[in-house]
Chain A
Amino acid sequence: MADTYARTLISPAQLHRARGKLTYRIVLTAVIVIFTLIFIGPLYFLFADGLKSTQEAIAVPPTIIPHSLHPSSYTRAWSEFSLGQLLVNTLYYAFGALAFQLVFDVAAAYSLSRLRPVLGNVLFAMMLATLMIPATVLLIPQYVTVASLPIVHMNLIGSPAAIWLPSVANAFNIFLLKRFFDSIPEELTAAAEIDGASPLRILWSIIIPLSRPILAVVSIFSLVAVWKDFLWPLLVEGGYQPTRETLNVGIWVASQTAPQNLVLAASAMAAIPTVVFFLIFQRNILAGLTAGGIRG
């Protein structure tokens, strides 16, 4: 089995010697133990300390294993911080943004790749140029624009569109999708075109079924991006009653006043969906990261 691995820094000959084998075993065990402690260890405290009583959560010295279990802090945190509402909000924002991105960005990438409109290349370059502008730099003018859209003077603050619509302006999505569509052989669509299929029909029946891998990558990263965002949702959805905040912002607001064990219980519950999502899609996520993360 070991022979099938690519040749790396340490030579196989060295690894096969008795001393090499022993050293390898020691290093492997040490790495597994240390990495588990560093990366899972904190999560243990996240989940376990939410089970402590309010006094025990801030006891000096801190206890490693809770002396008495209080699952009620989870139910209390759930109702006191309206976590159910926050979760629904976040899902609504995340899947809404995903739907808008899939419809508009796929259509745009298809147009740029196959229909090639006049000035298409200029528009594509202008989209790519936005990749060079870091997100937070445009925070203020974006906020002012969302608060009063030009010409129609509509105020989107507090509505889900304030998260959905700006998420469509994602040049990286369009870049990834267009590059993938470009790689689909021209003959496949040319035949359909001769048969009189409309562009929409070609997109729906030929391009999209062939593009499942890239659509999965784009979808996963788009969901994660909305789920993890903090500053933008804080500005555009913060401070409404009943709450319109995301989980992220909601538990931060709660943490300002609530006792420590409830804050931890809430943080733990907010982390569960992403951890489950990661465990289900880890293969796609880890592959997508290296496939789409860096161009070149």
Chain B
Amino acid sequence: MPGGTHRPAIGPRVQRNLSAHGFLFGALLCFALFSWYPMVREIIMSFQKTHLGVTSWAGFSNYERIFHDPTFWTAWRNTLEFTLLALILGFAVPFFVAILLNELRHAKGYLRCLVYLPVMLPPASALLLFAYFYDPTYGLFNRILHVLHLPTSQWTLTPGTTWPTMAMISVVIAATWMNMGGATLIYLAALQNIPGELYEAAELDGAGVFKKIRHITIPQTRFILSVLLLLQIVATMQMFVEAFILNGGQGAGNNTESVVYLIYQYAFALSGASNFNSAAALGVVLLIVLSVFSGGYLWLTRTQER
């Protein structure tokens, strides 16, 4: 080796770096192949077209194509509807359940396990069970309504697109049942960090339960509340499996078709016209929308750490 004489000086450092990068190599390769490269590739693909195996540049034609697809706007409308409904149910309900559980001094472990149990189920099991409950003829839910002398429902198959649609509400109920455990337990942990003296002070001022929730509980957990709000928006806007299993993904008159379902459909389901490039363009649009919320999350957690 020509540099042999220098080895004692730089050798250890080079060797140390080599072994450090050696330890990094496996993970780096996976990140490069399955995260960083696909990110770049998605943008490139969205500006390309493939015809008979030949790939060429296509300008904005993929974007024009998806913007002119009426299903594109329907899917966004539905996704927004799902996100809003999921926030009303999936954001508020866990918070109040957490407040309630935090007051109880018995059966703590049992109740925490109960709430979290559905999160552990394979989604297909939970959703096939809900599809069974939702069945308009032999389903349990319509039976309960019938016994209570209430009008029965078509649930996930209800037609109509006027907000809020019964079809989407049904999807949200199942999704909330499956997923609320995580948020509830995170809120519970946050509630336990509220200093008890604050409540004592409020009581001296004669504050009732609702005043205490409004002026102490909510402000004291504001950080966790906003973080989970953003995380839930990002998660719910990627809704796919819920509607996919409950009613095939589309619902009556496309009223539960989500953006991710449309990506799936553009890429894999439309036989003959299967088109990865339009799907990539839609992926880029979704990425841009979601990065607003991801960015908000990043900004929030960064200011908290300082």
CA distance A235 to B182 in the complex (A): 27
Nearest to A271 among chain B residues (CB) is: B125
What are 22 A-B pairs at a CB distance below 8 A? Answer: A9-B217, A111-B21, A123-B28, A126-B36, A132-B294, A132-B298, A133-B291, A133-B294, A134-B234, A134-B235, A135-B238, A138-B39, A139-B264, A140-B42, A169-B30, A231-B241, A231-B260, A267-B129, A282-B116, A286-B185, A296-B301, A296-B304
Question: Which residue numbers of B lie inside 8 Å of A, CB to CB?
Answer: 16-17, 19-21, 23-24, 26-28, 30-31, 33-39, 41-42, 45, 99-107, 110-118, 120-126, 128-133, 135, 137-140, 143, 146, 177, 182, 185-186, 188-189, 191-192, 196-197, 199-200, 203, 209, 212-213, 217, 223-224, 227-228, 234-235, 237-238, 240-241, 244-245, 260, 263-264, 267-268, 276, 279-280, 283, 286-287, 290-291, 294-295, 297-298, 301, 304-305
* Most chain A beta-carbon contacts within 10 A, residue among B125, B139, B235: B125
Contact indicator B20/A227 (Cβ below 8 Å): no
Partner of A9, one of B102, B133, B244, B291: B102
User: Measured between C-beta atoms, what is the minimum distance from B202 to chain A in Å?
Assistant: 10
Known: A286-B185, A293-B186. A123 touches B24 (CB 8 A): yes
Known: A168-B30, A274-B122. A145 touches B41 (CB 8 A): yes
- Identify whether the interface residues of A are mostly helix, strand, loop, or mixed: helix
On chain B, the residues within 8 Å of A27 by CB distance are 100, 103-104
Contact indicator B125/A270 (Cβ below 8 Å): yes
Identify which of residues 110-138 in chain A touch chain B, using a CB-to-CB cut-off of 8 Å.
110-112, 115-118, 120, 123, 126-127, 130, 132-138
Contact indicator B138/A108 (Cβ below 8 Å): no
Nearest to B268 among chain A residues (CB) is: A235
Please give me the 5 A-B residue pairs with the lowest Cβ-Cβ distance, nearest first: A7-B196, A115-B20, A117-B20, A108-B27, A104-B26
On chain B, the residues within 8 Å of A251 by CB distance are 122, 124-125, 128
Question: Which residue numbers of A lie inside 8 Å of B, CB to CB?
Answer: 2, 5-11, 27-28, 31-32, 35-36, 38-40, 42-43, 45-46, 49, 57-62, 100, 103-105, 107-108, 110-112, 115-118, 120, 123, 126-127, 130, 132-146, 149-150, 165-166, 168-169, 171, 174, 199, 203, 224, 227-228, 230-231, 235, 247-249, 251-252, 255, 260, 263-264, 267-268, 270-271, 274-275, 277-278, 282, 285-286, 289-290, 293-296
CA distance A58 to B129 in the complex (A): 13
Total A-B residue contacts, Cβ distance less than 8 Å: 305
Contact indicator B104/A31 (Cβ below 8 Å): yes
Contact indicator B137/A2 (Cβ below 8 Å): no
On chain B, the residues within 8 Å of A295 by CB distance are 301
CA distance A45 to B28 in the complex (A): 46
Partner of A133, one of B35, B137, B268: B35
User: Measured between C-beta atoms, what is the minimum distance from B14 to chain A in Å?
Assistant: 10
User: Measured between C-beta atoms, what is the minimum distance from B149 to chain A in Å?
Assistant: 14
Nearest to B258 among chain A residues (CB) is: A136
Contact indicator A140/B276 (Cβ below 8 Å): yes
Known: A32-B107, A144-B276, A248-B122. A49 touches B132 (CB 8 A): yes
On chain A, the residues within 8 Å of B192 by CB distance are 6
On chain B, the residues within 8 Å of A249 by CB distance are 124
Contact indicator B263/A139 (Cβ below 8 Å): yes
Contact indicator A9/B212 (Cβ below 8 Å): yes
CA distance A145 to B118 in the complex (A): 34
User: Measured between C-beta atoms, what is the minimum distance from B177 to chain A in Å?
Assistant: 7
On chain A, the residues within 8 Å of B290 by CB distance are 134, 137
Contact indicator A275/B120 (Cβ below 8 Å): yes
User: Measured between C-beta atoms, what is the minimum distance from A205 to chain B in Å?
Assistant: 15
Nearest to B300 among chain A residues (CB) is: A296
On chain B, the residues within 8 Å of A39 by CB distance are 114-115, 117-118, 177
Contact indicator A45/B138 (Cβ below 8 Å): no
On chain A, the residues within 8 Å of B103 by CB distance are 8-10, 27
Contact indicator A62/B35 (Cβ below 8 Å): no
User: Measured between C-beta atoms, what is the minimum distance from A292 to chain B in Å?
Assistant: 11
CA distance A36 to B33 in the complex (A): 45
On chain A, the residues within 8 Å of B100 by CB distance are 27, 31
Known: A39-B117, A143-B267. A11 touches B203 (CB 8 A): yes
On chain A, the residues within 8 Å of B241 by CB distance are 230-231
